[in-house]
Structures are given as C-alpha cells and as structure tokens.
Chain A
Amino acid sequence: MRDSVVRVSGLVGTLLYAAAIVWMYSAQPQTVAEVTGGLTSTIGVYRIDQQAFDDGLGFFKRDRFDEARAAFARADPAGRDSLTQFYIAYSYYRQGWGRLYNDDALFKQGLEAADRAIAVAPEHRLVVDDVDLGMRTADELRAELQRGLTRDASDFNPLRLLRKRR
C-alpha cells in the first residue's frame, strides 16, 4: 500500500515537472522573470505590482508614454497580464500616431504588445472599461496598429489630416 502511494505520488510529481519543462521549451522565456511569471501564471498565482500599474496608468493618462511603459514593465515583468500589455500596446499607439504619418517602429512594438495581450487574455478576449480610451478591446487596438503599418491608397487621402487619435 505504502509503495503504491509512493509510486503514484512520484508519477504525479514527475508529470507536473515534465509539463513545466515542456512549457518552458515551447514558450521560450527570455528572462528569469518571464520563467517565474509564466510558471506562476500557469498555476494561477501570478500577480502584478498594483502600485506600479497605477503609476503607469497615471503617466499614460498624462501622455508620458516612456514613463508609463517603464512603470508597466515593472508592474508586469513576465508579460503575463493582459490588461497591462494592453496599456503598453496603447501607449505605443498613442506615441506613434501622427496626423501625416505613423511611427512604424513604435507601431510594430505596439502590435507585439497587443498580440501578447490577446495571447494571455482569458479565451483571448479582452475588453477594457476605461472611458478615456477610443478603443476598448484588444482586437480593435490590434487592427488599428495593423492598419497603421499597412501601406495602401487610403494613405494618400487628404481627409486623413482630419482624423483624430483614438
């Protein structure tokens, strides 16, 4: 009886350990924070630094995007929180947006952050309840960033000058 208990618990432990290793090799985390964050989020105990997030949100609302991203990165070092990643993507969008042209480098980074937000959101769906935002879903934001990076005839439409940042 005791042997069976030892063997079963050994099997369970081994399976969990093997699953963690397979996850690490498939997710390819690049920092120690991403490794620990990924593992803790897998078992549902990952928490962001709320104070840093609030600081980032404050900077974001005052259009100080570099400071906002620094605070958001501190709040979510593993990149496993969809809301924080959404705001990071939004900060790239707002900073890179231009009436005549967009900053492609910033938009690309924004697109990557939006992809991360969608990837880690529950069921890949994220709706943000923030009245200050022109786009409240990650899908809208991703599509807007994608449009900003695409070159087509509408780029030469003079009415573009009248559009507003969302």
Chain B
Amino acid sequence: MTPLRESFALPCLFLTVALLGGLRLGVPGVDVRLVPPPLVSLVLAVLLLGSLVRSRVFAPDRLVANHRPPLENVSGCVVLLTLFAASAQTFNLLTPDSGLLHVLVSVFFLVQLLTTLTAVRERAGMLRSLAVLMGCAFFLRFVALESLYDPGRGVLKRVITALMEGVTLGALDYAPTGSATGYVAFLALTLYLIGLLLLPSGVTRARNVSLVRIGEPPEPDELDRDLAALRRQ
C-alpha cells in the first residue's frame, strides 16, 4: 500500500464517513443536527472489524507490525482508529435514532454480524454480504420508513402508521430525519465501501505464505494457484 493511500486517502475517507454518519439535515426545527454514535454502534463496529479481519478484507498486520518503522505504525494506527469511527457512525446512520425500531434494527445487525463473524471467511463474500446488509438497512430506513412517516404523507399512510403504533402500544414510533439526510447517507455508505475496498487485504499475503514457508513443502494445487496468481500480477 502506498504511503499516500495509507496517510491521506483512507483516513480522509473514513473521517468523512464519521462526519456524515451523524449528520441529519432538514430536521424540523433545526437545519443541522449531529448525532453522536450510541453505545450499541460501538459494539457493532467492534464486531464488524472482527469480521473484516477474519474474512481478510483487511490485514491489521499490514498496518501495524514490529517490522514497520514507528512512523508507519502511527500511520497504521490512525487508519485503524478512523476505520473504527467510520464503522460506528455507519451503524449510527443506518439505525433509527430512538424507539422500538432502534432496538429491533440494532438486534438485527448484532445477529447478522455474529453470523457473518462465524461463517464468512472469504474477502469477496464478506464485501458482498456487507454491501447487501447495508443496502437493505439503507433502503429500510431512508426509503421505506422515511416515506411512511413523511410529514406530508397521504391518508392511507397515516392509517397504516396509526395502526402500527396502535398495535405496538405506541412503541413503534419513528422521527423522520429530513429528505436531504438520505442523500448524505447514500454518499457516506458509498465512501465507506470504497474505503473498505482500498484497505490492505490479507489475501495476497496469504497466497505468498505457501511460497516462503520453510521446512514444509506446499501442496501441488497450492503452488499452481500461487503461480497463476503471480502470472496475473
């Protein structure tokens, strides 16, 4: 990974996501509101980072390691910290701010991430899974819920929301975030996924391990795979 990507591009991308993740525009009464991440977002971010490491979406040892000089390690730590902040703010963005929906979506994320943590081991699969998970959550919050709870909604939508609130004894309440917030959320999610793609992955490194492993000859199919990968590079 180039120093420019590690020192500028990734921290800048992730910090922008951290900023946009809590930004709510066009909220009734105020123009701008900045929502700090709740505790559950931090927990989800830790789980997500664990999943990313296990599936080799990024390799922490390529950011912080003994063989790297101190300045490079500091730079790597900054990338890790900004990635954590961006992950927490991404969950903050996708989860409704309060009420029963906040709890339900948080539990949904928790279960989904635990499943991913234990099951997904492949980089491409993990990235696809994450894109689908976040895409669905984005659609649920910024398309479905925003449309359903829009202040200028029609009679049918009012009846549906009134019924839903009645059935749940008023617990299923949702405060619309304003129309502009959806566009900001879309930008933040796109930047976050681009940032994940730019992270130093553990895939190439794992392939090379078989070539330098001492005292243990690689399997023939492993060698073929490595040679094919080298030819492609």
- Chain A interface residues (CB < 8 Å from chain B): 3-4, 6-11, 13-14, 17-18, 21, 24-25, 28-32, 34-35
Contacts and interface: CB of A to CB of B under 8 A. Distances in A.
B203 interface: no
A35 B32 contact: yes
A72 B98 CA distance: 37
A3 B3 contact: yes
A77 B122 CA distance: 52
Main secondary structure of the interface of B (DSSP, over half): helix
Given A28-B34, A31-B30, A32-B31, A6 B15 contact: no
A17 B36 contact: no
B18 interface: yes
B179 interface: no
Interface in B59-96: 71-72, 74-75, 78, 82
A22 to B, nearest CB: 10
A6 B11 contact: no
A18 to B, nearest CB: 6
B22 A25 contact: yes
A6 B7 contact: yes
B30 A14 contact: no
A24 B71 CA distance: 28
Nearest to A21: B19
A21 B30 contact: no
Nearest to B11: A14
Nearest to B79: A14
Contacts of B12: 13-14, 17
Contacts of A29: 32, 34
B31 A31 contact: yes
Given A4-B71, A10-B7, A14-B78, A30 B31 contact: yes
A18 B32 contact: no
Contacts of B31: 30-32
Given A17-B12, A21-B18, A21-B19, A7 B34 contact: no
B22 to A, nearest CB: 7
B8 interface: yes
B15 A7 contact: no
B169 interface: no
Given A10-B4, A14-B7, A30-B33, 18 more contacts: A6-B3, A6-B4, A6-B7, A7-B6, A7-B72, A7-B75, A8-B71, A10-B7, A11-B74, A11-B78, A13-B11, A18-B15, A24-B34, A25-B36, A28-B34, A30-B30, A31-B32, A34-B32
Q: Which of A6, A7, A30 is most buried by chain B, counting CB atoms within 10 A of its CB?
A: A7
A11, A14, A29, most chain B CB atoms within 10 A: A14
A8 B8 CA distance: 10
A100 to B, nearest CB: 34
- Closest 3 pairs (CB-CB, A-B): A10-B7, A14-B11, A30-B30
A2 to B, nearest CB: 8
Contacts of B34: 24-25, 28-29
A32 B23 CA distance: 12
B198 to A, nearest CB: 14
B30 A7 contact: no
